[in-house]
Chains A and B, each alone.
Chain A
Amino acid sequence: MSTTPNRPVAGKKSDKGFVYLPLIAGWLVPGAGHFLQGKWVRGTLLAVSIVAMFVLGLAMQGKLYTSAQDILGLLGMAGDLGSGLLYIVSRGLGLGAQPTQTTVADYGKVFIVVAGLLNIIAAVDAHNLRTGRKQP
């Protein structure tokens, strides 16, 4: 019985080094995971999209979740935390602390949560590029 030798998959990158670096960098700074791998255009588009969404959310007086008192609060905070340093710095500056009182502020809250969720998708994409799971 013949056996097929183990060959590297096309696009498979070396697993040398810390493979989770693009994931962590991409989570902390939108687009950074792609920048680390020389994907400048993709990284820039991701960074602009995610940062713009987050900033627009704050500009609409969207609320940043600060505590998880119920299941909705917990899910909202998980989404907000996806923005990494954007969330931490904004919390530090006291932004997004006002309660939601207008419809536009409710849109803003959603913009902030979705920016965090999109950033998680982008960071996982950077990790997949690093491990070779996705073609570069």
Chain B
Amino acid sequence: MIHPSHFAAVLLFSLFASTVFGITMRDTPRKMVRYGAYCFLLFVGSAIVLSWVMFLIAR
């Protein structure tokens, strides 16, 4: 049984999902890496932004 923090779970989820998205959605290795990195940043960035929004709403 493992107990990752919420942020660690976000990072793991984003890493694996972005890898699959990059490979399957683009044709060339260079584009795959760029799209995978783009998806990863969007996953993590949106999680951080939404977390702050929820934090400010809850105050």
Contact = CB atoms under 8 A, between A and B. Distances in A.
B47 interface: no
Given A134-B27, A135-B27, A122 B20 contact: yes
Contacts, number: 59
Interface string B17-35: 1011101100110000000
Contact of B9 (A49, A61, A107, A134): A107
A61 B23 contact: no
Contacts of B1: 59-61
Contacts of A103: 6
A80 B20 CA distance: 17
Nearest to B24: A125
A115 B3 CA distance: 19
A50 B27 contact: no
Given A60-B3, A103-B6, 12 more contacts: A46-B19, A53-B13, A56-B2, A56-B12, A59-B2, A61-B1, A104-B9, A107-B6, A111-B13, A118-B17, A122-B23, A135-B28
